[in-house]
Amino acid sequence: MFKIRKHRNGKISIKERYGRPAVYLDNWALNDIALENHYRNRFIKAMRRRNGTLRVSVQNIDELNKQGDWGQITSILKMIDSVDSGFLNVNVTEVIEREDKIIKNPFIKHNDPSGDVDLIKSRLQSRSLPLDPNISEIISIAILGTPVKRYKDVAFADLQKRKLDLGRSAQKIAKRAKERFHKAKQGGKKYDAATRELNSMAYDFIIINETMGMSKSSEWYDLNHVIVPVAYCDIVLVDKKWKAFVKQTGFEFPDIAMIFDKKSLDEFFVQLETNSFSQVNKPWKNKIK
């Protein structure tokens, strides 16, 4: 949930509050749940009863934009509005930069490093919206208005592909990647949120697993559904290969989110409905060590 206040000087301030559990859904999960009556009703019922928050990212919006079927998009937006919802910044570089500010100035009040109030501000300023718009209104403007560009840079994916090819072909680089991965696995998370460790280990994991296909740009963008959501949410639905990655890191709930994929969708619902999530510390509520 977010509260928007417009000041006399015309500036807008936004405050967000997240309920428990904080949930993140990859786009396949948004579709599977929102477009199937039983799953949708079960999800809405559980989220309302638990006062949970569904966190939506620019990556979700980008993929909805590509989806093109407005009947499906409308059903997904309706589900998002049926529960408490807010935005999640999946740009891992920006999130780590915000964490660094908390590390340097731990006694100053900071917002959640994973929040994405900039997305809300930009949409409010670009259109005449009320100060209490639904999440769906902001998402619709993002889809119908200027295309989302924050993760569409093909050059980024090409660069990652070249780095991956080099890493897999050079024995020294591959060896170091394996050593870094196991060192991080043994050392555990250094900060309250495991953002850095997961980010570093993801790239090393891809280098080590030579049969893991990462030739398409979309496969690199899929990483946006993993690092920050797993570090900052309580329960997450991702693709099978990224669930396997998280399992290999050695990090487990409650240090990171509970992770589920399509095959474990039923278990996701069981945990959503029954787990108290009380043992999870919100990273943005605590000082980063």
Average pLDDT, the chain: 79
Cα 31 from Cα 129, distance rounded (Å): 27
Q: 8, 22 in Cβ contact below 8 A?
A: no
Higher-pLDDT residue of 4 and 98 is 98
Q: What is the pLDDT of residues 217-266, one digit of tens each?
A: 566 677 778 999 999 999 999 999 889 889 989 899 999 999 999 999 99
Q: 206, 212 in Cβ contact below 8 A?
A: yes
Lookup: tokens for 120: 């809300």
Q: How many CA atoms lie within 13 A of 101 on its CB side?
A: 13
Is residue 272 predicted with pLDDT exceeding 90?
A: yes
Q: Specify the amino acid at residue 169.
A: S
High-pLDDT (> 90) share of the chain, %: 35
Helix (H) or strand (E) holding 84: strand 84-88
SS3 99: helix
Longest CA span, the chain: 61
Confidence at residue 198, expressed as pLDDT on a 0 to 100 scale: 92
Higher-pLDDT residue of 2 and 207 is 207
Cα–Cα separations (whole angstroms), residue 232 to 21, 37, 186? 11, 28, 21
Q: Which domain holds residue 23?
A: 2-285
Angle at the Cα of 181 (from 178 to 186), degrees rounded to 5? Answer: 125
Beta-carbon contacts of residue 103 (< 8 Å; ≥ 6 apart)? 191, 288
Residues 161-199: b if buried by 16+ CB within 10 A, e if exposed: beebeebbeeeeebeebeebbeebeeeebebbbbbbbbb
Q: What is the pTM of this model?
A: 0.81
- Domains of the chain: total: 1
Q: What is the pLDDT of residues 87-135, one digit of tens each?
A: 899 988 899 999 988 888 877 777 788 987 666 665 555 555 555 667 7
